[in-house]
Structures are given as structure tokens and as C-alpha cells.
Amino acid sequence: MGRFPPWADGSAPRAPACPAGMTIGSPDFVGVGVPKAGTSWWFSLILAHPDVHGPVEKELLYFNRVFFERYRQQGCTDGDLQAYHDWFPRPTGAITGEWTPSYLFSYQLPPLLRRAAPNGKVLVLLRDPVERYLSDISRRMPRRRLRNVRYRGFARGFYAAELAPWEQEFGPSEMLVLQYEACALRPGEQLAATYRFLGIDDSFCPAGLQVAVNRTPVKRTVDAGFERLLVELYEPDVVALAARFPQIDLRLWPNFSYLAGG
């Protein structure tokens, strides 16, 4: 879809026509985070399941800046939600959904997504915040944009704070928080857990389980002093995250393994 979705000018989005023999409705699952944490890879493995029907786009970005500007002025109507549902056709017996990694950082979105997908499951994939930051700033982009991307990339590493409004809206049985490093280390186990969470056959094993998607070929480097500063700034949030989500194994985060103790 490019940098901006087709409705970035403020016009209402319009989904393609529903294919014959399919029905539309609210998504069965929505991935909400985070960028540069393996979401394209994990989403591709979800779509590989025979009981999952793929959406038109991975990152639909329906709930974007323009949407929220309109939302603050006019609210969210049933028509807005129906327009969102139109993007999710599926054949009988299949589930479908999307994954927009930037959704996690929209604090206004959780109650709206509850309305838009009342029975939907929420997926989150997290990565060592320092490694995620370095990957984020390593994307190819015009040099004039790099400074803004650095600021945004830094802010997106405070996972515990960003997850708080989602935890208020979605209970533990409705939100699965995954760790990229655990998925890379034990992909079969973690994918089976993801399938179970989505309510589909967890014995299915797709081809290409170890095939990386959108891998960053070369990472930018930062000086050692700045990297230490990143660790110090992220540490309280990482501690809070691990306390609330014990499945996060800090031994797998190279910059925070010292917090794992013995």
C-alpha cells in the first residue's frame, strides 16, 4: 500500500468486492505490534495454515492518523466499522485477520478495536528493545528522515507502557504476547501455541518455518555510550514487562539478560 494508505486524504476507505461464496465480518484476529520484530515472518506462518484465509494486505492501517483526526471530530460510526469489516472476506469455516505493527502505539485504539472485533484475538510480537531500535533505524530511507525515525524508533521500545491500555480492554485469554527471540529459537513450539490461541489445528507444520521475511541486511551501529544509555532508559520498562508477562524470557534478550538473575 506504500507509505500512506489509499484513504490518507481523509476519504472513507472502500474494500474490494467480496468474492463469490465468501462472507464478510469482523476480523478473527488482529496483530498490533511491533515493527521490526518478525511480524511479517510470523504472519506469513499464520496465513500458511489451511484454516486461515489471507487478507488483501498484511498492514491494512485502517486506524491511522487520518482516521483518528476524524474520530476526534465526529466519533466512530457503525458505518466506519462496517467499512473495516468489508476488508475481511472468508470462506465458510476459515478465520481471517490482519497485522498492523504500529497499532500497539495508538492508545485510543483498544476500545475501538473491541467494538470493531468484539470476538477477535489480539497478537503482539516483541523483541529486545535495543535490537529492535537498531533494526528500525537501519531501514533504507532518505537521510533527512533518519532523525525523525530515530526519535520514533526509540519511543516504540517502551512495551510495558504501550501495552497497558490493551491490557485494560483485552484479558489474558484474548491477547497473546510473543517474544521474537523465543519464536526464532523454538519456532515449531511457539507457532503451535499461536495456532492454539487462534483456535485452529496446532498440529499443522507449514513449510518454510525457518525462512526469514524482511530481514535487515545490514544494521546501523551506534557508539557504545549511546547503546548503554538505551539500556538504562529501557530497563525499568523491561522489568515491568517481565513482571506482567512471565513468558518473556529475559535470558533471550542480549541487552537485558543480566536482569534474569540465576
**pLDDT one-digit tens code per residue, 189-240:** 999 999 999 999 999 999 878 766 666 666 777 889 999 999 999 999 999 9
DSSP 115-168: HH-TT-EEEEEE--HHHHHHHHTTS---HHHHHHHHHHHHHTT-HHHHHHHHHH
The SS3 assignment for 229 reads helix
CATH number belonging to domain 25-254 = 3.40.50.300
pLDDT at 2: 42
Q: Could you state, in order of their start, the residue ranges of all structural domains in the chain?
A: 25-254
The confidence score (pLDDT) of residue 218 equals 64
pTM across the whole model: 0.91
Lowest mean pLDDT among 60-69, 112-121, 142-151: 142-151
For 99-142, the pLDDT digits (tens) are 999 999 999 999 999 999 999 999 999 999 999 999 988 866 55
